[in-house]
Amino acid sequence: MSGWVVRAAWGRVAGLGLVAGLGLVACSDPSPGGTASSGDDGSGSPASSGGEPGTTGEAGTTTADPDSSSGAPMDGYPPEVLEVLDLPWPPDEYDPPLPAHFLTPAVQALDNTPPGNPITDAGATLGRVLFYERALSRNETIACATCHPQATGFADPAELSEGFDGGLTGRNSMGLVNARFYATGRFFWDERAATLEDQVLQPIQNEVEMGMTLDEVVARLEARAYYPFLFEQAFGDPGIDADRISRALAQFVRSITSYRAPYDEGLAAVGGDPLVDFPTFTEQENLGKQVFFGVGNCASCHLGQQGDPLPPGTPPPNAAIFMLVAPANNGIDVSLVGEDNGVGDQVGDPALNGLFKSPSLRNVDLTAPYMHDGRFETLAHVIQHYDNGVLPHPNLDARLEDESGQPQRLNMQTVDKQALQVFLSTLTDAAMIEDPRFSDPFRG
C-alpha cells in the first residue's frame, strides 16, 4: 500500500526490548509522488465537491504533487506563519518508523492510505493546522479538535458533542487513533463515508457540527496570510481548494498512530506474540490480557484480521490495531428496528440493522463514554455488558453467542473482570497523548 515496504523481519527483533529506535525502516516511500506521472492538482483542476463518496483520495483519482515532500529548498517559515502558529522547523516527521508488530503483512494489509495521498510532513503539518482551525465553523467557535481533543484520545468526553450553534450531534464522537489501519477505509459509526478524504469534509458541511460550505471555507482560508505558504509546502503551489483541504486533513488524521503504550513495550519484549506473558506486565495485567484473548473473546472482534479465523492458540497476525475489520452487532439493543440502526439504515438493509463500526480500543481508558450513543459511562459498564448483559438482537454477532445460539453469559469472576479492565489501560499511550505533533499549533 502506497510505498509501504516491509523490510523488518519478525526474527530481527525477537527477544529484544523496545523496537522503536532500532532503526527499522521508515514506512513511506522517501519521495511520495516523486515517480508518479505528472502529478498535478494545481488551481486549474476542479475541487472535489466532498459530498459524493469516493470523489477524492481513491486509488488513481488523485496523484501526489511532485514537490510535496522533496524538491524545493525551504529555509524556515515566513513571519506571517510564525506570528500566528508555533510550528517547528524543519517540519515534524509524521510517518516515523513503526515497531515490528505494525510491519507484519496482516497489519500492512489494513492500511487505507490511498496511493494519491501518502502522508508527507508538510501535508500533515497543514492538516494539523486545519484540525485546530476554528474558521472551519460558521461562527469560528469550534474546530475539529473541539469534538476530538488530543487529551482524551481524540474522542469527546461528552455523550453527544455540541456543534457551532449549540446543537447536538446524533452520536458520540469517535476516537481517531489508528484510523489509518481500517482496510475498507470507510468512516463513521455507520460507515457512510467511503474514504477518509471524503469523511473529513463532512463535519465542515454538517449543519449541526460546523455549518459551512466548502466555497466559504476556501474563501476564508485564502484571506488568512499564513495559509498560502503552508499549502505551497504541502502541494507545490499556494492554491487553496477543497480537495487539498481534504487531503491535508486526511494525512493528519492518518498520522495519529498509537504505538508507544505499555502494551507495545510488553509485546516487543516477547518478540511479538501477545499470547505469551509480558515480563514488563504485572500479574494482574497479564491475567487481564489472558481474559482479552481467552474467555472474554474480545480479540476475535477487536483485533480483527481479514481472512479465515485462526485455530485457537495461534498468535494473531494482527496484534497491533485493536479494531474490528467490519461493523458488527454487539447486542446492546434487542429490537430489530430501533432509533438508530447504524449500517442497516445507511445501506437500506434490515439484515444489517444494529451493526456499527467501533473505534480502536487503543487509549480506550481515556475515550469514555462508550458505544455509538455513549450509553456506557465506564469500562466497568462495558465489561459488565459483555459478561452477562448481551441482548438477543436478531442480528447479534455469532462471536457473542453460545453454542445454542443464545447471547453469551460469561459470568466471569470479579478478579477476571477487574484484570480485563486493567489490561485495557495498558493500551493508554501517554507519548501519543502528549505528542506535540498532534497538539494545537495556534499561539495564545
**Which of 268, 328, 352, 422 is the binder for ligand HEC (CB under 6 A)?**
328
**Which of 97, 175, 185, 317 is the binder for ligand HEC (CB under 6 A)?**
175
Instruction: Rank residues 31 and 255 by Cβ distance to ligand HEC and give the closer one.
Output: 255
In whole angstroms, the minimum distance from the beta carbon of 94 to ligand HEC comes to: 15
In whole angstroms, the minimum distance from the beta carbon of 142 to ligand HEC comes to: 5
The owner of cell 476516537 is 175
50 binds ligand HEC (CB under 6 A): no
Rounded to whole angstroms, the Cα distance separating 435 from 141 reads 24
Rounded to whole angstroms, the Cα distance separating 19 from 269 reads 9
- Residue 255 DSSP label: H
Rounded to whole angstroms, the Cα distance separating 25 from 4 reads 10
Q: Which residues are paired to 231 by β-bridges?
A: none
In whole angstroms, the minimum distance from the beta carbon of 250 to ligand HEC comes to: 8
In whole angstroms, the minimum distance from the beta carbon of 22 to ligand HEC comes to: 30
What is the CB-side half-sphere exposure of residue 12 using CA atoms within 13 A? 15
In whole angstroms, the minimum distance from the beta carbon of 7 to ligand HEC comes to: 29
101 binds ligand HEC (CB under 6 A): no
Give the three-state DSSP class for 361: coil
- 124, three cell numbers: 500533515
**Which of 203, 239, 316, 344 is the binder for ligand HEC (CB under 6 A)?**
203
- Residue 407 DSSP label: B
Site for ligand HEC in 220-249 (CB under 6 A): 249
Q: Which residues are paired to 162 by β-bridges?
A: 168
409 binds ligand HEC (CB under 6 A): no
199 binds ligand HEC (CB under 6 A): yes
From residue 167, give the alpha-carbon distance in Å to each of 147, 173, 208, 285.
13, 14, 6, 41
In whole angstroms, the minimum distance from the beta carbon of 271 to ligand HEC comes to: 25
- 425, three cell numbers: 489501560
Rounded to whole angstroms, the Cα distance separating 121 from 140 reads 27
Amino acid at 22: L
| Beta carbons of 234 and 246 less than 8 angstroms apart | no
Print the binding letters for residues 270-299 with ligand HEC: x by CB under 6 A, - otherwise: --------------------------xxx-
| Beta carbons of 342 and 355 less than 8 angstroms apart | yes
- 192, three cell numbers: 457512510
170 binds ligand HEC (CB under 6 A): yes
Q: Which residues are paired to 376 by β-bridges?
A: 370
Site for ligand HEC in 362-381 (CB under 6 A): 364, 367, 370-372
In whole angstroms, the minimum distance from the beta carbon of 21 to ligand HEC comes to: 29
**Which of 399, 402, 409, 431 is the binder for ligand HEC (CB under 6 A)?**
399
Instruction: Rank residues 170 and 238 by Cβ distance to ligand HEC and give the closer one.
Output: 170
Instruction: Rank residues 67 and 133 by Cβ distance to ligand HEC and give the closer one.
Output: 133
| Beta carbons of 323 and 180 less than 8 angstroms apart | no
- 39, three cell numbers: 502529478
Instruction: Rank residues 138 and 372 by Cβ distance to ligand HEC and give the closer one.
Output: 372
- Interface with ligand HEC by CB under 6 A: which range of 15-23, 116-124, 219-227, 325-333? 325-333
- In whole angstroms, what separates CA 135 from the centre of its chain? 23
Give the three-state DSSP class for 294: coil
**Which of 100, 179, 212, 287 is the binder for ligand HEC (CB under 6 A)?**
179
| Beta carbons of 25 and 97 less than 8 angstroms apart | yes
253 binds ligand HEC (CB under 6 A): yes
120 binds ligand HEC (CB under 6 A): no
Q: What is the DSSP string of 176-197?
A: -TTTT--TT--BSTT--BSSHH
Q: What number of chain residues touch ligand HEC (CB under 6 A)?
A: 54
Footprint on this chain of ligand HEC (rule: CB under 6 A): 136, 142, 144, 146-148, 161, 163, 169-171, 173-176, 179, 187-190, 199-200, 203-204, 209-210, 249, 253, 296-298, 300-302, 324, 328, 330, 332, 356-359, 361, 364, 367, 370-372, 382-383, 386, 397, 399-400
